Amino acid sequence: MRLKVLTLNVAHGAPFAVPMPFLRSRSALLGTLDRVAALLAREAADVVALQEADRSSLFSGRVDQVARIAERAGYPHVHHGVHSGVPGLFAQGTALLCRHPLESCDSAHFGRDRRMDKGYVVATLAGEHGLEVVSLHLDPFSAAVRQRQVEQLIHALRQRPERPRVVMGDFNAEDVDGPVARLCAELGLHTPAEREPTYPVPDARQRLDGVLISHALRFTRYARLPDAVSDHHAVVAELTLQPSTATS
């Protein structure tokens, strides 16, 4: 079994001079989203994890950003979670785009305050793949908050059936004792030790974005993409099932 995955924080389609999409012209906003879609179409990953990806609302410029990207990139299966939702005003969250049907879909936001737009979506790839995939976005400001969010995710994933797992996203931390290390230790995941910085574009200095996989899987490729379609670089990984765990 071979699988290609990609993760990207799309920054609400407005990553640079104007950080709020409703302040951009519609043509500029759609142009950014279409550049994201072109990148995804070119890379042709089986599964894409998006963060800061919005459904139609006032904040999003009345554009369903997830649908626009998925349709133009050729992804028929979409699972989006609204982590900050006020009807008509906000519909912000994370998403999974997939070429395969998704099952056992779930979503959660972190914290009691619905204005907090951090959380995750999780789903299982239908059919022979049987992998669990997660798109995750953690708090950018507080290590203590990230720790609580990671513990919440660990607890939730342990309630689901045990299977090979891929956790992708914007971890908002690069310290070795932070959320990446915690997730790897508690859920039996791993990621390459040497990873290129992903934020900010164009002079990336921090390794905030990445892909973690179960030990039943191994990386055959792990790379930061150079494209400047957001203030984060996309990360792409190609995976294969370890021979000892493959079934005939």
Mean pLDDT of 76-100: 91
> Percent of the chain scored above 70 by pLDDT?
93
CATH fold group of domain 2-245 = Deoxyribonuclease I; Chain A (3.60.10)
Q: pLDDT category, 117, cuts 50, 70, 90? A: confident
Mean pLDDT of 109-129: 81
Give pLDDT, residue 87. 82
Is the pLDDT at 125 greater than 90? The verdict is yes
Mean pLDDT of 115-139: 89
CB atoms within 10 A of CB 96: 30
| Phi–psi pair at 5, nearest 5 degrees | -130, 160
Domain-wise residue ranges, the chain: 2-245
DSSP letter string, 141-174:
S-HHHHHHHHHHHHHHHHTSPP--EEEEEE-S--
**Average pLDDT, whole number, for the chain?**
92
Give pLDDT, residue 247. 43
Q: Give the Cα separation of 40 and 111 in Å (integer).
A: 31
Q: Give the Cα separation of 46 and 235 in Å (integer).
A: 14
Q: Which strands, in side-by-side order, build the sheet including 165-170? A: 102-109, 119-125, 132-137, 165-170, 209-214, 189-190
Q: Give the Cα separation of 103 and 123 in Å (integer).
A: 6
Is the pLDDT at 129 greater than 90? The verdict is no
Give pLDDT, residue 174. 82
Is the pLDDT at 248 greater than 50? The verdict is no
CB 47 within 8 A of CB 96: yes
